[in-house]
């Protein structure tokens, strides 16, 4: 684990009219440069040629001198260069078969953001001033930055609800491995209960989307009745829908952060199930509930926090019959319909379906750590393993 962890600190801020106008121009220029570079690289791709970052950077210099794109000179050049670097990363991932071919940015749907490096901003005494701006940003400091630390990059963004955010990437020396413990826990995710632990604890699913479903439906009906186009009334209705979505997402994210932080602090080993969320949301009956539960976000938060604090997350193969397998004697039942929440094994043990599944996940995960049977890294980052059902016992580097 590195000595210092790179950590992003995100804050909301309230720009002045001049700052909002400058940032909006910057967002538009970033999108334009990205799309121009993507078009140039796509044309070269059809000719069986490759264009790299240095070539697109030279193209940017030419674009600024043309009569059609003089407005590119009105904004800071750093976010434009960063857009080209982001495009280079997208192509690197495409050639490495880790992502699809890059897509053009849409004025209405794409995320509005601009990234500034150290040469394009000034951070002094807790005041952040961006290039091309005279006044510092009015940031709502909900928590302080680590003492004596300055950001290496600053990303400014605006969400669909119209809120402005600034994200500062810093080295955080306060993130250090926690003292090792001998505790381990199996975690079974669900819909009635968001999490069921092998200890028997059940965490209720808050169902954040359901709480605002009526208000969301009303706002969406009003949006659907507005004339399509760029009218002010449609923009206002769209922003109301976005605000409800943002409120739901904020509550969901807050809940998941609190849960994952608590689990990582209390346990050395955390065992989860390697679910295919993408396939599960194809079920129309479950898609809304599965999306609201945000199991993928839960796993992502759990894994990076475990990596920060020296914990281990093990992902057990999704085909493990954790619900049908008796955690006491190992007997496997042939069928276990979803409506069966408790069941009795022939050995005399009565099981709660979810608690039993969590215990079986824990047992499978501990088997991985004990002998490495059927273990392999789940992803490229450390601290993540997957117990697969049919592999020969081996441990890969």
pLDDT for res 96: 94
For residue 21 the two structure tokens come to: 């106008």
CB 78 within 8 A of CB 119: yes
Instruction: Give the pLDDT confidence score for residue 394 in this predicted structure.
Output: 32
Average predicted confidence (pLDDT) for the chain: 88
Residue (of 31, 158, 11) closest to 82 by Cα position = 31
Q: Evaluate if residue 371 carries a pLDDT over 70.
A: no
Confidence of residue 393 (pLDDT cuts 50, 70, 90): very low
pLDDT tens-digit series, residues 224-262: 999 888 789 999 999 999 999 999 999 999 999 999 999
Task: Output the CA torsion 3→8→9→14 (10° steps).
Answer: 150
End-to-end Cα separation, the chain, in angstroms: 16
Quick one: CA dihedral 167, 169, 170, 172, positive or negative? Answer: positive
Supply the pTM of this predicted model: 0.84
Catalytic-role residue among 22, 115, 188, 209: 188
Q: Which residue has the tokens 């701006």?
A: 133
Per DSSP (E only), the strands in 142-227 are 153-158, 164-172, 184-189, 193-197, 202-204
Task: Measure the CA–CA gap between 307 and 373, rounded to whole angstroms.
Answer: 22
As to burial, measured by CB atoms within 10 angstroms (0-12 exposed, 13-18 middle, 19+ buried), residue 357 is buried
- For residue 202, list its beta bridge partners: 196
Task: Given the residues 22, 115, 273, 292, select the one marked as catalytic.
Answer: 273
3-state helix, strand, coil in the chain (%, to 5): 40, 20, 40
Distance CA 112, CA 180 (A): 42
What pLDDT is attached to residue 3? 58
Q: Closest Cα to residue 20, out of 153, 140, 168, 135?
A: 135
Nearest to 328 by CA among 350, 310, 308: 350
Q: Residue 66 and residue 73: Cα distance in Å, rounded?
A: 11
Q: What is the pLDDT of residue 328?
A: 80
- The whole-angstrom separation of Cα 286 and Cα 292 is 10
User: Averaged over 333-361, what is the pLDDT?
Assistant: 83
Instruction: Report how far residue 227's alpha carbon sits from residue 393's, in angstroms, rounded to the nearest whole number.
Output: 62
* 273 part of the active site: yes
pLDDT above 50: residue 376:
no
Phi, psi of 152 (to 5 degrees): -90, -35
Looking at per-residue pLDDT, the higher value among 121 and 330 belongs to: 121
Q: How many other CB atoms are found less than 10 A from the CB of residue 356?
A: 26
Catalytic residue among 22, 209, 312, 354: 354
- Residue 324 is encoded by which pair of tokens? 């049908």
Mean pLDDT for the stretch of residues 153-169: 96
Dump pLDDT digits (tens) for 178-210.
999 999 999 999 998 999 999 999 999 999 999
Q: Give the residue carrying structure tokens 């069928």.
A: 335
Q: Is 188 a catalytic residue?
A: yes
- Check whether 377 has a pLDDT greater than 70: no
Active site residue 138: no
Confidence of residue 388 (pLDDT cuts 50, 70, 90): very low
């Amino acid at each position: 684990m590195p000595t210092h962890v790179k950590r992003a600190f995100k804050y909301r801020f309230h720009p002045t009219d001049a700052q909002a106008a400058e940032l909006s121009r910057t967002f538009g220029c970033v999108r334009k440069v990205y799309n121009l570079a993507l078009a140039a690289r796509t044309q070269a791709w059809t000719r069986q040629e490759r264009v790299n970052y240095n070539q697109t950077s030279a193209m940017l210099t030419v674009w600024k001198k043309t009569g059609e794109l003089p407005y590119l000179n009105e904004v800071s050049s750093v976010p434009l260069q960063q857009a080209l670097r982001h495009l280079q990363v997208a192509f690197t991932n495409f050639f490495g078969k880790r992502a699809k071919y890059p897509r053009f940015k849409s004025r209405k749907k794409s995320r509005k953001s601009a990234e500034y490096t150290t040469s394009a901003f000034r951070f002094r005494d807790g005041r952040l001033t961006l290039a091309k701006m005279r006044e510092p940003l009015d940031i709502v400091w909900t928590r302080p930055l680590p003492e004596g630390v300055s950001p290496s990059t600053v990303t400014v963004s605006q969400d669909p609800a119209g809120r402005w955010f600034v994200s500062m990437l810093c080295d955080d020396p306060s993130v250090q491995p926690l003292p090792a413990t001998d505790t381990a826990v199996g975690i079974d995710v669900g819909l009635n209960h968001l999490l069921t632990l092998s200890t028997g604890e059940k965490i209720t699913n808050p169902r954040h989307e359901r709480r605002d479903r009526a208000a969301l439906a009303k706002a969406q009906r009003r949006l659907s009745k507005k004339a399509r186009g760029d009218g002010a009334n449609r923009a206002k209705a769209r922003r109301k829908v976005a605000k409800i979505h943002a409120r739901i997402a904020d509550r969901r994210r807050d809940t998941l952060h609190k849960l994952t932080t608590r689990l990582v602090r209390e346990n050395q080993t955390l065992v989860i199930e390697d679910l295919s969320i993408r396939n599960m949301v194809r079920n129309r009956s479950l898609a809304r509930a599965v999306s609201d539960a945000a199991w993928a976000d839960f796993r992502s938060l759990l894994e990076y926090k475990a990596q920060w604090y020296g914990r281990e997350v093990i992902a057990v193969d999704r085909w493990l019959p954790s619900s049908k397998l008796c955690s006491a004697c190992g007997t496997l039942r042939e069928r276990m319909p979803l409506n069966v929440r408790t069941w009795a094994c022939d050995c005399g043990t009565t099981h709660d379906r979810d608690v039993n599944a969590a215990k079986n996940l824990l047992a499978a995960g501990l088997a991985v750590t004990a002998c490495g049977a059927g273990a392999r890294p789940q992803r490229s980052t450390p601290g993540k393993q997957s117990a697969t059902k049919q592999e020969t016992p081996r441990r890969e580097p």
